[in-house]
Amino acid sequence: MNKIGWRDRVRLHPYVDREVAKRLVEYSAASGIASSAVVQAALRQYLDRTSDAALILRRLDRLDRADARAQRDLELLSEAFAVWVKIWFVQTPRIESDAKELARRTAESRYAQFVQHVVEQFVGGQRFLDDLPREVLADEVELANVAAEMPLPAPTASPMGTHGE
């Protein structure tokens, strides 16, 4: 807690349920923290939207956007594959029975070349999806805000004791 003189404080008179008041008294007694400090920390957390629930919701939102992007990428790749298969069928003639063995060996050799090319592209960092427009999941400001909003340590006992409760 910040060291604030009692003259810099304002007395509030909010009403809470008896159960909440009882829990506050029990928590304060068990932790040795003035109930004013507990209420002030809770209000700060609520007003600053730094509660665990708010942080979790923001993270879930980012995960939802990442999931939507992965779904879009999968649909895009599926569509690209379907187009490729259609073109392949148009360009590839039927093979006569006597030429099938030669075609099989040629296909295996060409497939090995294809796999090698894919491996080289992948290792080199070149991705088909990188050539496409992409949604930004989080900018630098949002990432800095998340880092700053990491849960704060529990409030410590107020140097003012129980004054102002």
Domain range summary for the chain, segments of one domain joined by +:
1-50+152-165, 53-145
- The predicted pLDDT at position 137 comes to 58
- Residue 50 burial by Cβ neighbours in a 10 Å radius (0-12, 13-18, 19+): middle
pTM metric for this prediction: 0.43
- Residue 37 burial by Cβ neighbours in a 10 Å radius (0-12, 13-18, 19+): buried
Query: Cα torsion at 6, 11, 17, 23 (round to 10°)?
Result: 0
Name the more confident of 102 and 139.
102
Taking residues 58-81, what's their average pLDDT? 90
- The predicted pLDDT at position 76 comes to 87
Taking residues 23-46, what's their average pLDDT? 90
Name the 3-class secondary structure at 32. coil
- The predicted pLDDT at position 29 comes to 94
